[in-house]
């Protein structure tokens, strides 16, 4: 019994790490603009396809695939901000960017269907079949890589936000954009930077997610709903990290001890309970600091 609990704990941490990476990008955008980017799921999917193509073109160089996915995500983030959010922000409507990103999402999904077709792809990396055993516990080298890359990314992002000038300026913009501008901070540049970082995280999470799930033009949607719930329910970087790992563990233990069909019911029921008990989120912060 203890072995099962520990094994499912490992599986839950792997899944939770992926949720954290996907949700962190949403958290950054939501924290700065109080907006949701519905195209975020499709950036995750494009990151997965980019990693798949580069990995196979370079004879199994998975790390080059991860780097390519990160760059593709960053480029898409810049394009979405420059082409959608920046022009519509000037109109003073919060609804227009939301609707526009739904249109971008539909466009990207149909483009991927045209390019890659509806047939699922099997994204096998050189690490997917290598199994590590620790006594009665086992996990693939791919899963270990997911945990290590996710952990390193989370630490670097946290350090960037808390200890660098740009990170502190970004947090200032998230709290009060007008006052930050009066203090000499350029909000438009930092909003652009936020989109680039958030979308780069989405692309990289797609590269890590692709080998775990069946790769289709809609692969990102399988995790984005829970990522949305994590962001809206827990709202800041610290809360997102904790909540993402908790959701991964809940899914893993629900699959083992209850029924896989109950995963969404259990996760969202606990989310509602959490919001009722702690409406400020898992990690309450002063004022409305979301990053």
What helix, strand, coil percent values describe the chain, rounded to 5? Answer: 75, 5, 20
Hey, where are the domains in the chain?
A: 2-277
Q: How many residues does the chain have?
A: 291
Q: pLDDT-based confidence at 283, cuts 50/70/90?
A: low
Q: For residue 236, which phi and psi values (nearest 5 degrees)?
A: -130, 170
Mean pLDDT, the chain, whole residue set: 85
Half-sphere exposure of 201 (CA within 13 A, CB side): 28
pLDDT in tens, 37-53: 889 999 999 999 999 99
Torsion sign (Cα): 83, 199, 220, 215: positive
Report the pLDDT averaged over residues 69-96.
86
According to the model, what pLDDT value does residue 132 have?
Answer: 87
E strand spans, 137-199: 137-140
**pLDDT value, residue 285:** 53
Whether 57 and 65 have beta carbons less than 8 Å apart is answered as no
**pLDDT at position 47, please?**
94
* Per-residue pLDDT at 288: 45
Distance of alpha carbon 88 from alpha carbon 92, whole angstroms: 7
Q: What is the mean pLDDT of residues 53-75?
A: 92
Instruction: Assess contact for 27 and 290: CB atoms under 8 A.
Output: yes
Q: Is the pLDDT of residue 286 over 60?
A: no
Closest CA to 132 of 145, 116, 150: 145
Q: What per-residue confidence (pLDDT) applies to 290? A: 55
Q: Do the Cβ atoms of 180 and 172 come closer than 8 Å?
A: yes
Residue 109's pLDDT band, with cuts at 50, 70 and 90, is very high
Kindly report, residue by residue over 219-271, the tens digit of the pLDDT: 888 788 888 777 766 657 787 888 888 888 888 888 888 877 777 787 778 77
At 64 the pLDDT is 93
Say whether 291 sits in a helix, a strand or coil: coil
**Torsion sign across C-alpha atoms 121, 56, 61, 46:** negative
Q: Give the pLDDT of residue 287.
A: 44
Tell me the whole-structure pTM to 2 decimals: 0.88
d(CA 241, CA 21): 8
Q: Averaged over 140-145, what is the pLDDT?
A: 90
**Is 3 or 289 the better-scoring residue by pLDDT?**
3
User: Domain 2-277's class?
Assistant: mainly alpha
Phi-psi region of 34 (alpha: psi -120 to 50; beta: other; left: phi over 0): left
């Amino acid at each position: 019994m203890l072995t099962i609990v520990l094994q499912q704990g490992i599986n839950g941490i792997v899944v939770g790490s992926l949720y954290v990476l996907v949700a962190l990008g949403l958290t950054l955008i939501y924290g700065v603009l109080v907006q949701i980017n519905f195209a975020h799921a499709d950036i995750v999917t494009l990151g997965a396809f980019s990693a798949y193509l580069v990995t196979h073109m370079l004879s199994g160089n998975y790390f080059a695939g991860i780097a390519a996915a990160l760059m593709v995500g960053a480029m898409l983030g810049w394009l979405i901000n420059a082409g959608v959010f920046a022009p519509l922000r000037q109109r003073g409507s919060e609804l227009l960017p939301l609707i526009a990103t739904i249109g971008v999402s539909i466009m990207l999904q149909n483009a991927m269907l045209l390019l890659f077709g509806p047939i699922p792809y099997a994204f096998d990396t050189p690490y997917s079949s290598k199994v590590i055993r620790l006594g009665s516990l086992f996990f693939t080298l791919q899963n270990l890589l997911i945990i290590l890359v996710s952990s390193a990314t989370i630490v670097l992002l946290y350090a960037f936000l808390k200890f660098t000038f740009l990170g502190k300026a970004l947090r200032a913009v998230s709290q009060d954009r007008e006052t930050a501008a009066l203090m000499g901070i350029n909000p438009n540049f930092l909003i652009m930077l936020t989109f680039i970082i958030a979308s780069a995280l989405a692309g990289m999470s797609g590269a890590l997610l692709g080998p775990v799930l069946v790769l289709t033009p809609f692969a990102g949607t399988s995790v984005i709903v829970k990522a949305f719930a994590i962001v809206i329910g827990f709202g800041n970087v610290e809360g997102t990290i904790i909540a993402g790992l908790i959701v991964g563990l809940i899914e893993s233990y629900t699959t083992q001890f209850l029924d896989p069909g109950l995963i969404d019911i259990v996760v969202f029921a606990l989310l509602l309970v959490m919001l009722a008990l702690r409406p400020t989120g898992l990690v309450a912060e002063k004022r409305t600091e979301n990053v």
